Structure 1
Amino acid sequence: MHSSRIKFEIPDERTFSPFPRLPPELRQKIWREAVSTPGMSFVKLESRGRNWRWVSMNRPFSQVTPDNASTKSDDLDEIALEVKNEVAPRRLWDTRLVPISANKKSDISSYHGLNKQIAALTIACGESLDVVSSLVRKKGAVRTSNGKLLALPGSSDIIFLEYLPSELFESGCSYDIDPNCPSLDNIRRVAVRYCHQWQEKPVPSVCPLCGLVHEAASNSVVYPNHLYHFLARHLPNLEEFYFVDYFLLRKAAQSNPSSGEYYNRNLPQRKYKCGPRTYYEADDKTWDVKPQVLRMQEWLQDRFIRYSKASQLSRHQNPEKVRFGILACEWDIAPPVSLKTQYIPSTPKGRNKRVIYEDHALRRQRLRRKSRIAVPVDSNAVAANLPFVFGNPDNSFDFTFEVDWRRM
C-alpha cells in the first residue's frame, strides 16, 4: 500500500533556531564547514616587468643524439647522471601569482565564492568572526600577489597552475630558473593541463630552446622534464597532483548498455564545481582514459620520487606520499532556445545606388497618392470619444502626416 505524497514548501530564508543551543565545539565545526567546500582556482606565474625568455644557463650546449640517449633500462643511471651534473639555477626570475583570466566575469575560479563566504561570516556573529579570523591568520594560506585569498590552510581546494608559457610547456626542457615566488610554498594540491602535444611532436635532433635532445620513445613521445623539476624544487608541501585531460569522456554503463545510462553512480568520485564546469577524478572504470595518459602519469610519478630523493635542489621531504591522479571536465551549458535565425533578405546584386534611389522615390509617390484619398467612415461605428474622426465633414482639425522612410 503506497502512502500519499506530502507536499510542502521550503521558504527562501531558512533558519535553524536551535543552533545557539548546540555545543560550542559543534558550532565552530559548522562554521568551518561553511567555507570548506572543495573548489578549484585558476592562476598562473606571471613575470614582473618582462616577458619569458628561455635560455638554459645551467648546462652547456650538448650534441646528444638518439643513439647515445638512455633507454628505459638506463633510467636509474640517467637520473644519477642528471643529479651529478646539475647545479643550482643562477637565474632568479621574479614572478607572481595572478588569475589566468584578466576579466573577472570570465574567471570561474572558486576563490571568488570563498571570499564572499568569509565576508558574510565576519558579519554574522561574534563567534563566526572569531572562527574565520583564526582560519585566515593560520599559517599556510595560499594568496595571490595582491593578497587575495586562494585557499585556506588545510583546505581541499586545488590550484590549477600555469607555470610556463604554452610553447615551453609543450617541450621537454628542464626547469633551470628560480621563480622566486613565496606563495608556491603553501600549495598542497596542484593541477596542470595535460598536453596532448607530447604525443604528437616528432623527435627533434636538437631542441631549439635549450640545445639538448630530450628523452623520447619510439612513438615520438616528448617527456616534460620541467614538470618533475618544478614539483620537486618549488612545491615543498605538495600532497596531491592532477593532470587535467579535457578530452576525457564517460563510458557507457556496463550493466545495461541499452538503457542509455552513462553515469555509474555506485562509485564515489571527487568533484570540484567551478561555474559551468565540474571536474571529476577519473578512473579507468568510469572514464575512457587513454593509455598514453596513464603512462605519462606513471612516468611523472616515478621520476618525481627518484629525483626528489637524489637531488640536492629538491625541497620535498616525502615524495612517496604525494598522490597522483587525473581529472576530467564536464560542461553544464544549456542549449540555445532556438537555433533558427530570422530570415533577412539579401541585397539585390547588380543594382547601383541610382536604381535604389529611384525605387524609393517611386514608392514615396505611391504613398502620397494613397494619403490624399479620403475613405468614408461611419461615425456611429466609432465607440471611443476621439477628437477627430476620419471622413466626418464637421471636422475642423488640422494635422500633418509623416512617414518614416527608413522603415519602408
Structure 2
Amino acid sequence: MSGAPIKFEIPDEYRTFLPFPRLPPEIRQQIWRESVSTPGMHFVKLESRGRHWRWISLNRLAQLITQQQDTEKDDDEEDDDEIAHEVKNEVTPKPLWDTRLVPIYPNQKSDISSYHGLNKQIAALTTVCGESKAVVDNLIAKDGVLKLSNGKLVALEASSDVIYLEYFPPELFESGCGYDIDPNCSSLDNIKRVAVRYCHQWQEKPLPTVCSLCGLVHDTTGGIIYPKHLYHFLARHLPNVEEFYFVDYFLLRKPVQSNAGPGKLPTRKYQCGNRTFYEANDEHWNVKPQLVKMQTWLQDRFIRYAKASRLSRHENPEKVRFSILACEWDIVPPLSLKAQPTPPAQKGRNKRMLYEDHALRRSRRRLLRQKSRNAQLINSNAFTANVPFIFGNPNNSFDFTFTVDRRQT
C-alpha cells in the first residue's frame, strides 16, 4: 500500500498572490489553463439509442460464414499471415444502430469520474474575472473536447485524462468475435487515452467449439480466447487514440523489502474518488504472464491490422502506447468499528422481559411508599412490659433530645 498522504495548511496571508495582475498576460493565461489540467479517470460507455442493440444480422452472418470457409481453404493451400486473410475477406459493416456516449453509473452520487470536479472548476473560473472566463471559453470551444451526449464536458483537448470505456454487449467482450458494427458515434474521435477492463474470462472460459453469438469457430490457440473485436474497435473507431491501457483489478502490489533500493517508481497515477489507478510495472506489481502476453498480442495485431485494413482510420498505429493499470481502493472503516464494544445481553432476556422487570420493581416501591404513609399508631398496652418508653402514651414523662447527622442522609 502507498504511504499516508502529506497534509499541510497554507496560512491565510499566503493564500492570495497580489502581484498576479502585474504578470504578463501569457503567464496568467497559462496559470488559468494549468488549474484545470489535473489528470483523472472518466467512466463512460456506449449506449444504443432507442431500441435494443442487435449484434449481427442474418445477411451479415452468411457473409461471415463464407469468409471463414474461404480462409480455411487458403490455410490449406499455404500458410500466410492471418491478418492478410482477414483483411482480404472483410466486408464493410453497415451501421446497425446509432449510439451515444453516456456515464457508466446512472446516478451522479455513485459516479466517481473526475469530470464532475472539472465542471466545478470550469464553473468557478467563469465567475472569477473576464480573463479567466475568456480562457475557459477558448478551451471549451476547441475541436478535440470530449463531451457526453447531454453536452456535459468530460475532457479538454490538451488534457491527459484517461477514458475508461465499455462498449456493449458484455457477451461480445468475453468472446473472440470481431467488432462487426459501426457505432456511428462522433464523440469517439476525440478520445486520446482509453482504458478497458481486462477480462479474465479469456483464460478461464472452457474452450468452445462454436461461438454462441455468431455460430463460428474462432481462434483459441492454447485454450485462450483472443478478442479480435478489441483491435477492430481501436483501429476503426478511435482514430486519434495515443495510449491504451488494460485495467486489471486483481493486480496486487508486491511486498516492500527492507533492503531494497528506491527502484523504479510508477510513471503515472490517476486519482478518482476513493480509487487510485497506477501504471503497473514488474518491479512493484505482481503482473501475470498471461496479461503481458495478451497486451503483446493486442499491440501486434492492432499495428498490423491498422496498416493493412481499408476500414482502419488510424494513421500512426506504431506510435500508440500500450500499458497496464492497477487499481487500489482507499476504504475508510465505518465509525461503528471505532466505538467501544457494548457488553452482550444476558441470554434468555430480551427487551420485553427487562421492561416487565423494571415495571414490577417500580410497582413494589410504590406499594411500600403507600404503606408507610398509611401506617397506624401502635397500641401502647401491648408493649408496656417490654419497652420503657412508648410513643403516644400520655403517662410517659421522659425528656430527651433528638439529633440528625445530615452528612449521612
Query: Normalised by the size of structure 2, how large is the TM-score?
Result: 0.79
Residues 295-314 of structure 1 correspond to what in structure 2 (within 5 A)? Answer: 295-314=293-312
State the Cα deviation string for residues 151-173 of structure 1 (Å, max 9, x = none): 00121011100012322211111
Which one of 212, 237, 259 corresponds to residue 240 of structure 2?
Answer: 237
- Is contact 1:70–1:78 with CA below 8 Å preserved after alignment? no
Separation (CA, whole Å) in 1 of partners of 2:292 and 2:110: 31
How many aligned residue pairs are there? Answer: 361
Task: Select the residue among 176, 183, 187 that pairs with 2:187.
Answer: 183
How many angstroms does 1:373 deviate by? 2.7
Contact 1:59 1:86 in 2 (8 A): no
Indicate the residue corresponding to 2:60 in structure 1. 58
Equivalent residue, structure 1, for 2:363: 368
Cα shift at 1:33:
0.4
What per-residue deviation string (whole Å, max 9, x for no partner) do you get for residues 184-212 of structure 1? 11111100000111111122111011111
**Does the C-alpha gap of structure 1 residues 185 and 9 become closer, same or farther in structure 2, counting only changes over 3 Å?**
closer
State the AA in 2 paired with 1:247.
F
Tell me the distance in 1 between the aligned counterparts of 2:354 and 2:127.
70
Which structure would you say has the larger Rg? 2
Counterpart contact for 2:266–2:281, Cα < 8 Å: no
Q: Please show how residues 258-337 of structure 1 align to structure 2 within 5 Å.
A: 258=258, 264=262, 267-337=265-335
Q: Distance in 1 between matches of 2:38 and 2:163?
A: 14
Instruction: Name the residue aligned to 2:32.
Output: 31
Q: Is the 8 A contact 1:92 1:180 kept in 2?
A: no
Q: Judging changes above 3 Å, is the alpha-carbon distance between structure 1 residues 24 and 177 closer, same or farther for their aligned structure 2 residues? A: same
Note if 1:109 corresponds to 2:124: no
Aligned to 1:224: 227
Confirm or deny that 1:20 pairs with 2:24.
no
Structure 1 residues 157 and 8: alpha-carbon distance in aligned structure 2, compared to 1, 3 A threshold: closer
Please give the alpha-carbon distance, in whole angstroms, between the structure 2 residues aligned to 1:77 and 1:283: 32
Give the deviation of 1:264 after TM superposition: 4.9
- Rounded Cα–Cα distance in structure 1 between residues aligned with 2:357 and 2:19: 81
* Secondary structure at 1:212 match in 2: coil
Distance 1:370 1:33, change over 3 A: same
Give the superposition deviation at 1:55: 2.5
Deviates more, 1:89-98 or 1:358-367: 358-367
Q: CA RMSD in A?
A: 3.4
Unaligned runs of 5+ in 2: 1-7, 373-403
Instruction: Tell me, yes or no, if the aligned pair for 1:70 and 1:215 is still in contact at 8 Å.
Output: no
Question: Which among 245, 249, 253 is matched to residue 246 of structure 1?
Answer: 249
Offset of residue 265 of structure 1 = 6.6
Q: Which residue of 1 aligns with 2:12?
A: 11
Secondary structure in 2 matching 1:183: helix
Matched, 1:119 2:123: yes
Distance 1:50 1:380, change over 3 A: farther
Change (3 A) 1:209 1:8: closer
Superposed displacement of residue 54, structure 1: 2.3
Structure 1, residues 29-77: CA drift from partner, whole Å, max 9, x if none? Answer: 1110001110010001111223333235534264979xx6999xx9962
Cα pair 1:264 1:286 within 8 Å, conserved: no
> In the aligned structure 1, how far is the partner of 2:269 from the partner of 2:168?
26
CA distance in 2, matches of 1:162, 1:319: 21
Letter in 1 for 2:60: N
Structure 1 length as normaliser, TM-score?
0.79
Residue in 2 aligned with 1:205?
A: 209
**Shift in Å at residue 217 of structure 1?**
1.8
The residue that corresponds to 2:161 in the other structure is 157
**How far apart, in 1, do the equivalents of 2:54 and 2:13 lie?**
54
Counterpart residue number, 2:48:
47
Counterparts of 1:77 and 1:308, CA distance in 2:
14
What secondary structure does 1:327 align onto?
strand
Aligned to 2:12, the other structure's residue is in SS state coil
Letter in 2 for 1:33: E
Distance 1:363 1:308, change over 3 A: same
Q: Is contact 2:44-2:164 (8 Å) kept? A: yes
Of 287-296 and 88-97, deviating more is: 88-97
The answer for the alignment partner of 2:397 in structure 1 is: none
Quickly say closer, same or farther: Cα 1:113–1:13, change in 2 above 3 A.
Answer: farther
Give secondary structure in 2 for the equivalent of 1:324. Answer: strand
Q: Secondary structure at the match of 1:279?
A: strand
Cα distance change, pair 70–209 in 1 and its aligned pair in 2 (3 A): farther
Q: What CA distance in whole angstroms lies between the structure 2 residues aligned with 1:69 and 1:359?
A: 85
Specify the alignment match of 1:215 in structure 2.
219
3-state secondary structure, aligned to 1:374: helix
